[in-house]
Amino acid sequence: FKISADDRDAIQELKTAAEHGEFDILLVFMFDRLGRIDNETPFVVEWFIKHGISVWSVNEGEQKLDSHVDKLMNYIRFWQANGESQKTSIRVKSRLRQLVEEGVFTGGVAPFGYRLVKSGIINKKGRELMTLEVEPREAGLVQIVFDLSVKEGYGSYIMANYLNERNIVTHNGAKFQPMTIKRMLTNEIYHGFYVRGGVRSKRIEELQIIDDDIFAQAQEILRQRKVNSEEKTNIALLAKSSTMLGGNLFCAHCGKKLCSNSFVDTYKTKDGVTHHSKRKYRYLCSGKAMHRNECDGQSVYVASKVDEVVLEALYRCFDKIKSTPKSAAIEKKYKAIVSQIKKEIKQLEKENSLLERKLKELTEEIASALLGDSKFTPDILSMAIENTKNKLNENVSCLAEKRHQLNCKEEEMGKIDYHYEQFRGWAEEFDSASPERKKMIICTLFKEINVGRGYDIEILMNGSYEQFVA
């Protein structure tokens, strides 16, 4: 009921055959086999009749258009068929959503990392249903893809090449494309959830390949790398570059990102010999260098000078985290904050209950005031009702905000162990890590590195890690 007759090969072939006089009668089981689009299919039937073809249905007989009533019945038939199709579509979608919520595989091609196996469940048609099972070799490759994204900062193009160079193909036997990698990175099945039509299943432990925190980091990297993202981001757009910093490097004067480039000095000596210096790297203020905005900072900063200051700060953080035990004091601080928020929520709920009761009483008093049986005038009551409503709306907004704060804090508490172990791990691995890995560690640990004139550098840490060294 969604595909137009113009896009259906069978209808077009029938029209061509009718124009060539290859048949005189068109017989279908039911007329809705010709289509179920209420504003199109009636005219398809009319087209055949006008071209001298008798249109018959096994169940409904011949369709004629001799009278105005015939034309009306022709339209009503397909209008009704369209409605039935929509109802069927709704029922099927609702059932599929229900199955997804229950954690049942609803069909389709197995994603990379999984294979289809028989579930042992027989459907109403007597067919055995299939389900997903982790394919160990492919699952290892999926983990590599996520690690390259999160730990090395690789983009989808590089990762597609990585798999293609190793002669690894998709389940369709095709080479990996960047879009295939993007779909893989965003597919929630890899951390144990079926998702369909906006519905998310309960967690299916046996299907989880990727840790929740790794999956969440991959989503954040993809979000920050969107071309149309206008917010300040701290993830490098390119992982493979010759400079150590990128993504979280900003001009302290105009706020624009600092980009990197390199150059080679060329000069001639008196003997006429041309010499080339060693390649040098620098960071440029994209705002000032390209005249995009007013900026009173430097256009160019020597990369080695900026890197030296940042590395010094980085190693100070690493030394501190190595000597900092996983103290219960941080958890204690979070618990105190959570307790305070819960107390405020309880107080707001109590106030709202009183305001709702007051609003009900004032509304009931209006009737008495209109009859002259109240000591209050309707105007006074109306003003009191308005004030009570405003206060109630204000409290409802405040309550929603407090509940959001509570959810955020409870989520942060749950990630304390993960962030601590991750921070300690970075301190141990940094010196032996690849340049791409080092760049991702710096981008994740430091939210912003603001570089100003005279190499006045301000470094802002990500709050999730700052709590351990503050």
pLDDT digits (tens, 9 = 90+) for 44-73: 888 888 888 888 888 788 888 878 887 787
φ, ψ dihedrals at 297, nearest 5°: -90, -170
Of 160, 216, 260, 158, which is closest to residue 444 (Cα–Cα)?
Answer: 216
Question: Which pair of structure tokens corresponds to residue 200?
Answer: 């998310």
318 and 463 together in one domain: yes
Max Cα–Cα distance, the chain, nearest Å: 114
Across residues 340-352, what is the average pLDDT?
Answer: 91
Question: Which pair of structure tokens corresponds to residue 396?
Answer: 């409802």
φ, ψ dihedrals at 357, nearest 5°: -65, -40
Is residue 293 included in any domain, yes or no?
no
95 and 152 together in one domain: no
Is residue 184 included in any domain, yes or no?
yes
Pairing of strands 54-57, 25-28: parallel
- Write down the pLDDT at residue 69: 81
190 and 272 together in one domain: no
342 and 458 together in one domain: yes
Is residue 345 included in any domain, yes or no?
yes
Across residues 353-382, what is the average pLDDT?
Answer: 82
Distance between CA atoms of 44 and 372, rounded to whole angstroms? Answer: 70
Is the pLDDT score of 365 beyond 70?
A: yes
Between 82 and 430, the more confident residue is 430
Between 190 and 78, the more confident residue is 190
Between 18 and 125, the more confident residue is 18
Distances (CA, A) of 428 to 124, 322, 398, 433, 467: 58, 9, 44, 10, 19
86 and 154 together in one domain: no
Across residues 324-340, what is the average pLDDT?
Answer: 72
Q: Which of 89-98, 152-161, 394-403, 425-434 has the lowest mean pLDDT?
A: 89-98
- Tell me how many domains the chain contains: 3
Is residue 109 included in any domain, yes or no?
no
Helix (H) or strand (E) holding 461: strand 456-461
Residue pair 285/251 in contact (Cβ under 8 Å)? The answer is yes
165 and 270 together in one domain: no
Of 311, 256, 230, which is closest to residue 452 (Cα–Cα)?
Answer: 256
Residues sharing a CB contact under 8 Å with residue 254, sequence separation 6 or more, in sequence order: 285, 287, 288, 293, 294, 295, 297
Is the pLDDT score of 36 beyond 80?
A: no
Residue pair 46/72 in contact (Cβ under 8 Å)? The answer is no
470 and 408 together in one domain: yes
Is the pLDDT score of 238 beyond 70?
A: no
Residue pair 235/448 in contact (Cβ under 8 Å)? The answer is no
Q: Which of 119-133, 224-238, 366-380 has the lowest mean pLDDT?
A: 224-238
Range of the domain at 194: 114-224
**pLDDT grade for 398, boundaries at 50, 70 and 90:** very high
Share of the chain above pLDDT 90, in %: 19
Across residues 116-145, what is the average pLDDT?
Answer: 87
217 and 162 together in one domain: yes
Distance between CA atoms of 469 and 448, rounded to whole angstroms? Answer: 17
- Write down the pLDDT at residue 309: 93
Ramachandran region, residue 246 (left: φ > 0; alpha: ψ -120 to 50; beta: rest): left
Share of the chain above pLDDT 70, in %: 94
Is residue 466 included in any domain, yes or no?
yes
Residue type, 121: I
Helix extents (H) in 299-377: 303-322, 328-370
- Write down the pLDDT at residue 112: 93
**pLDDT grade for 241, boundaries at 50, 70 and 90:** low
Is the pLDDT score of 349 beyond 70?
A: yes
241 and 168 together in one domain: no
Q: Which of 166-180, 256-270, 330-344 has the lowest mean pLDDT?
A: 330-344
Residues sharing a CB contact under 8 Å with residue 342, sequence separation 6 or more, in sequence order: 406
**pLDDT grade for 191, boundaries at 50, 70 and 90:** very high
**pLDDT grade for 231, boundaries at 50, 70 and 90:** low
**pLDDT grade for 313, boundaries at 50, 70 and 90:** very high
**pLDDT grade for 371, boundaries at 50, 70 and 90:** confident
Of 2, 70, 1, 58, which is closest to residue 31 (Cα–Cα)?
Answer: 58
**pLDDT grade for 114, boundaries at 50, 70 and 90:** very high
Is the pLDDT score of 331 beyond 70?
A: no
Distance between CA atoms of 43 and 415, rounded to whole angstroms? Answer: 62
82 and 220 together in one domain: no
Is the pLDDT score of 93 beyond 80?
A: no
Measured in whole angstroms, how far is the alpha carbon of residue 108 from the centre of its chain?
22
Is residue 68 included in any domain, yes or no?
yes
Distance between CA atoms of 380 and 397, rounded to whole angstroms? Answer: 26
What CATH number does the domain containing 196 carry?
A: 3.90.1750.20
Contacts within 8 Å (CB) and 24+ apart, 454-461: 455/301, 455/305, 455/306, 455/309, 456/252, 457/252, 457/306, 457/309, 457/310, 458/252, 459/310, 459/313, 461/317
The residue among 53, 71, 101 that closes a domain is 101
Using CB atoms within 10 Å of the CB of residue 106, give its burial: 0 to 12 exposed, 13 to 18 middle, 19+ buried: middle
Is residue 288 included in any domain, yes or no?
no
Residue type, 109: V
Of 467, 436, 446, 423, which is closest to residue 309 (Cα–Cα)?
Answer: 446
209 and 245 together in one domain: no
What CATH number does the domain containing 40 carry?
A: 3.40.50.1390
Of 308, 395, 320, 413, which is closest to residue 359 (Cα–Cα)?
Answer: 395
Distance between CA atoms of 323 and 265, rounded to whole angstroms? Answer: 45
Helix (H) or strand (E) holding 278: none
Across residues 243-271, what is the average pLDDT?
Answer: 85
Of 410, 395, 419, which is closest to residue 467 (Cα–Cα)?
Answer: 419
Is residue 291 included in any domain, yes or no?
no
131 and 97 together in one domain: no
**pLDDT grade for 333, boundaries at 50, 70 and 90:** low
Is the pLDDT score of 228 beyond 60?
A: no
**pLDDT grade for 215, boundaries at 50, 70 and 90:** very high
- Write down the pLDDT at residue 229: 46
Question: Which pair of structure tokens corresponds to residue 192?
Answer: 């144990």
